[in-house]
Structures are given as C-alpha cells and as structure tokens.
Amino acid sequence: GEEVAQTPKHLVRGEGQKAKLYCAPIKGHSYVFWYQQVLKNEFKFLISFQNENVFDETGMPKERFSAKCLPNSPCSLEIQATKLEDSAVYFCASSPARGSYNEQFFGPGTRLTVL
Amino acid sequence: AQTVTQSQPEMSVQEAETVTLSCTYDTSESDYYLFWYKQPPSRQMILVIRQEAYKQQNATENRFSVNFQKAAKSFSLKISDSQLGDAAMYFCAYAMEYGNKLVFGAGTILRVKS
C-alpha cells in the first residue's frame, strides 16, 4: 500500500495482560521503525528492522517487549504483562532504504491504554 | 548520546504573521540530518522540512524555512504567513547519517490566533 497501516487503532488491556500491535509498511520499504509516544508527548525510539532482521534495538526494553518483521506478514510489537506505564501511542514508520536522507513515513499510531 | 532540546513548550502567533520555533541539539557526529515534524490533533506525523548537516544552505519548503547554525548546533523553524492549519505540535528531530532512528525533542505547541 501507499500508506503505513497500523492495527488496531485503540487497544485496552488490564495490567498484566498481553498486548500485540501490528504494522504494515509501505510496499517496497525495507526499513521499519517503532516509536513510543507517552502522554507527555515524548517520543522514544524502540526498535528498527531491515526487512526481517533487527537493525537497531537500542531503545527496546529488555523485558516484556518483543518485535518481529516476518516475510509476507505485518510487523508486530508485543508487550507481555503490560504495566500502567506502557500506556502510550505506538507509532510505526517505514523507509525505503538505509540512510537518514530517506524520509520515514509514519502510520496513524495505535493507542494502548493499560488499566 | 545525541539529544534534542526544544525550549519553548508553547508558542502563539497571529494569523498571517511569522513565528520561529527553536531547537538545539548535541552530537559529536559531523554528518547527520535534522528534521521538523508536525503533529496535528489527529496525531499523524507529517514531515515539514529536513536539513542535511553538510549543506550550508538553509532548507526551505514554501512558507517553511530553517535557520541552521552548525557550529552553534541550532536548528530553528520559521513559519511565514501563518495559517490556522499550522496549529499543531512541532517536533524537532535528529538522525545520524546512517543511523536512521530519529531522536526527538519534547515538542512545541503552536497556537494560531485568528
């Protein structure tokens, strides 16, 4: 597609439950990024992929968070045992190639609310 | 680690006037990119303008222009002829040349008065 698609739009989970978010990058884009925007509007980089390979995971919390980009499937971000502090909007972005010259196209985000 | 600072939490401008949003950053890299993103209430992130650090010429995109001062590590955004549709949160962001990941500032809320 011509836009980054993210599902679901909203996700509500009780504390301790699992949350799984999906991202379909723009067709032909080989780089995928996940960012977390917390309620104070701060953006935090989580992880990036080059095709199905992890490219940079320096922002990924060591526990509870995992992500995958498998061939012919949407990318996913999974949070095990959610905590109140995981409440945020999670953005996925895709880019056609390596090199920061290439624009990152953002999806509409998934709002995760942990109760 | 690279950091981006936006010291203005909120700015206001009268319609048709000009406003400048400030951004400073810290890096030891010589090659990098700087960006301004707009986030309206819909939360959709929209790239407004980008600047390559190796280019001395300031980037411009229609009513949007930047003042890039590499030595001072400053990257401000000027919006001319402000329109009601410019009201949004604006984020300054940095990326290393091949690092790809964006490092964002805290954002500046821009309000446009009619």
* Mean pLDDT calculated for residue range B54-80: 96
The DSSP secondary-structure symbol of A29 reads -
Q: What is the CB neighbour count within 10 angstroms for residue B87?
A: 18
Strand stretches in B1-114, DSSP E: 3-5, 10-14, 19-21, 24-26, 32-39, 46-52, 60-61, 64-69, 74-79, 88-96, 103-104, 108-113
Residue range A53-90, pLDDT digits in tens: 999 999 999 899 999 999 889 999 999 999 999 999 99
Residue range B16-40, pLDDT digits in tens: 999 999 999 999 988 899 999 999 9
Which residues of B are less than 8 Å from A59 in CB distance? 101
* Mean pLDDT calculated for residue range B44-59: 94
Compute the count of residue pairs across chains A and B with CB atoms less than 8 Å apart.
Answer: 59
pLDDT of residue A72: 87
CA pair distance A9, A21, nearest whole angstrom: 9
Which residues of A are less than 8 Å from B2 in CB distance? none
Sign (positive or negative) of CA dihedral A54, A70, A96, B58: negative
Q: Which of A1-5, A78-82, B82-86 shows the lowest mean pLDDT across its residues? A: A1-5
When pLDDT is cut at 50, 70 and 90, the band that residue B100 belongs to is: confident
User: Helix or strand or coil: residue A17?
Assistant: coil
Q: Which of A91, A105, A42 is nearest to B6 (CA)?
A: A42
pLDDT at residue A100 tops 80: no
Which uninterrupted H or E stretch holds A9? none
Among residues 28-47 of chain B, which lie with CB inside 8 Å of chain A? Answer: 32-33, 42-45, 47
pLDDT of residue B6: 97
